[in-house]
């Protein structure tokens, strides 16, 4: 069957009316970033952030219109908001918390009542967020290597790339192409090295991902949980976007997290970010499983001399001071970088190396913590930490 073209997609969408303007969604300028690859179609509907929740029927109508075209295998339409939301629009649809703390806790309860975690991720036993206070600290590299170490330990593991703005997991797992359909409306995750993976990078062109703003990011995130056939998983690792802003906070609310890991470099500035990361998860009652210090020290490959370039050990001290566990340290190492950047994570390619051993150790601790958090009473009670 001939593959569908972008023009055919736009023609199909020209029959869908925008209820607000009465024009077609194409004429109203709502459709952007159409990508068509081998019968898999992705596009964005740019809507006013204030209309977010009300636009869901329109999004579905657009998907259905394109699905009817011959040659279409899958359709993914995502609501996006070009303009940054005013105020705390991210909170729309799940409570009206204006401040932090209590407002968010209430928001979380409202959200839980509205969408049970089991509905979003029915076969997944535990979900672990990997977060960092800022970009470039090696959060994605750590997430990928931990996932690879878990897979090697026969843990059924998935990796959800929540970084809508700059998805890097497909490259790090050497995955490209598009997910196949697993059912009428469900995508099968991609997989490599025994890790199931879903990323917005599979669905839309990179430049499209970059324009996404505000609350509609949550729409894409929920689709990557709900509309993906994750199957039975012991652990789903969520690589959050770097930072501790409203987007990350809302993600921490929306994703049914069992616990969170904070990745940090040892520099003092980054440690401030650790504190922010910890308090972000505490605001939404997600237990902190611990802190990983990445690029912790440097071992000279020529002479074996170990140099603590950035006052190594800072993350351990910060973790102790804040009453959270220190999970381990990963050195600054050229091989970690080259393997990560070329899609061959060191935990897979050199499982007997000392670096892989560090990731294996962290992976084991996390599986233990996730298992005890999900057994018995379920989510651990939030702890009061003096700061």
Q: How far is the CB of 35 from ligand ADP (least distance, A)?
A: 24
- Residue 107 or 328 with smaller CB distance to ligand ADP: 328
Tell me: does residue 145 bind ligand ADP (CB under 6 A). no
Residues 6+ apart with CB under 8 A from 303: none
Q: In this chain, which stretch among 55-63, 147-155, 199-207, 331-339 interacts with ligand ADP, using CB under 6 A?
A: 331-339
Residues 6+ apart with CB under 8 A from 72: 4, 39, 41, 66
List binders of ligand ADP among 52-91 (CB under 6 A): none
- Residue 235 or 330 with smaller CB distance to ligand ADP: 330
Residue 72, CB-side half-sphere exposure with 13 Å CA sphere: 22
Tell me: does residue 248 bind ligand ADP (CB under 6 A). no
Tell me: does residue 141 bind ligand ADP (CB under 6 A). yes
Q: How far is the CB of 350 from ligand ADP (least distance, A)?
A: 14
Q: How far is the CB of 26 from ligand ADP (least distance, A)?
A: 36
Query: Would you mind telling me the total number of residues written for the chain in this entry?
Result: 387
Tell me: does residue 341 bind ligand ADP (CB under 6 A). yes
- Residue 52 or 277 with smaller CB distance to ligand ADP: 277
Contact letters for ligand ADP, residues 109-138 (x by CB under 6 A): -----------------------x--xxxx
Tell me: does residue 340 bind ligand ADP (CB under 6 A). yes
Residue 333: C-alpha distances to residues 200, 227, 338 (Å): 29, 38, 9
Contact 266, 312 (CB under 8 A): yes
Tell me: does residue 332 bind ligand ADP (CB under 6 A). yes
User: Contacting ligand ADP (CB under 6 A), which of 140, 192, 199, 358?
Assistant: 140
Tell me: does residue 162 bind ligand ADP (CB under 6 A). no
- Residue 137 or 233 with smaller CB distance to ligand ADP: 137
User: Contacting ligand ADP (CB under 6 A), which of 52, 242, 243, 314?
Assistant: 242
The residue whose Cβ lies closest to ligand ADP is 138
Place of tokens 């300028």: 29
Tell me: does residue 345 bind ligand ADP (CB under 6 A). no
> Using CA atoms, how far apart are residues 163 and 2, in angstroms rounded to an integer?
33
- Residue 44 or 129 with smaller CB distance to ligand ADP: 129
- Residue 76's nearest CA partner among 236, 202, 162 is 202
User: Contacting ligand ADP (CB under 6 A), which of 295, 324, 362, 363?
Assistant: 295
Virtual CA dihedral for 354, 355, 357, 358, nearest 10 degrees? 120
> Using CA atoms, how far apart are residues 41 and 72, in angstroms rounded to an integer?
7
Tell me: does residue 344 bind ligand ADP (CB under 6 A). no
Size of the site for ligand ADP (CB under 6 A): 19
Burial of 372 (0-12, 13-18, 19+ CB in 10 A): exposed
* Dihedral sign computed on CA atoms, order 331, 336, 340, 346: negative
- Residue 33's nearest CA partner among 214, 190, 228, 200 is 200
- Residue 108 or 139 with smaller CB distance to ligand ADP: 139
Q: How far is the CB of 249 from ligand ADP (least distance, A)?
A: 18
User: Contacting ligand ADP (CB under 6 A), which of 59, 104, 139, 213?
Assistant: 139
Q: How far is the CB of 143 from ligand ADP (least distance, A)?
A: 8
The footprint of ligand ADP (CB under 6 A) covers 132, 135-141, 168, 242, 294-295, 330, 332-333, 336-337, 340-341
């Amino acid at each position: 069957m001939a593959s569908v073209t972008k023009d055919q997609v736009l023609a199909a969408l020209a029959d869908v009316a925008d209820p607000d303007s009465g024009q077609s969604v194409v004429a109203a300028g709502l459709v952007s970033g159409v990508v068509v690859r081998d019968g898999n179609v992705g596009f964005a509907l740019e809507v006013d952030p204030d209309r977010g929740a009300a636009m869901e029927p329109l999004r579905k109508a657009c998907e259905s219109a394109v699905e009817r075209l011959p040659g279409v295998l899958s359709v993914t339409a995502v609501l996006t908001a070009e303009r940054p939301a005013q105020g705390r629009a991210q909170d729309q649809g799940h409570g009206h918390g204006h401040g932090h703390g209590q407002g968010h806790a209430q928001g979380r309860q409202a959200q839980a009542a509205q969408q049970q975690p089991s509905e979003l991720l029915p076969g997944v036993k535990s979900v672990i967020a990997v977060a960092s206070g800022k970009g470039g600290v090696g959060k994605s590299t750590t997430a990928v290597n931990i996932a690879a170490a878990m897979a090697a330990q026969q843990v059924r593991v998935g990796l959800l790339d929540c970084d809508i703005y700059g998805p890097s997991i497909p490259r790090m797992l050497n995955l490209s192409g598009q997910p196949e359909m697993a059912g009428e409306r469900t995508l099968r995750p991609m997989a490599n090295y025994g890790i199931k993976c879903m990323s917005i990078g599979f669905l839309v062109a990179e430049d499209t991902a970059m324009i996404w703003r505000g609350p509609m990011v949550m729409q894409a995130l929920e689709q990557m949980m709900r509309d993906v056939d994750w199957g039975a998983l012991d652990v789903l690792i969520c690589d959050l976007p770097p930072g501790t802003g409203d987007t990350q906070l809302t993600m921490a609310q929306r994703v049914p997290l069992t616990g969170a890991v904070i990745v940090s470099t040892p520099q003092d500035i980054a440690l401030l970010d650790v504190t922010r990361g910890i308090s972000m998860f505490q605001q939404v009652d997600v237990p902190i499983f611990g802190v990983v210090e990445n690029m912790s020290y440097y071992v000279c490959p020529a002479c074996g001399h170990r140099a603590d370039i950035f006052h190594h050990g800072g993350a351990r001290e910060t973790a102790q001071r804040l009453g959270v566990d220190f999970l381990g340290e990963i050195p600054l190492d050229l091989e970690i970088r080259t393997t990560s950047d070329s899609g061959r994570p060191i935990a897979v390619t050199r499982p007997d190396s000392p670096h892989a051993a560090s990731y294996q150790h962290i992976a084991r601790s996390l599986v233990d913590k996730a298992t005890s958090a999900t057994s018995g009473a379920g989510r651990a009670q939030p702890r009061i930490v003096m700061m």
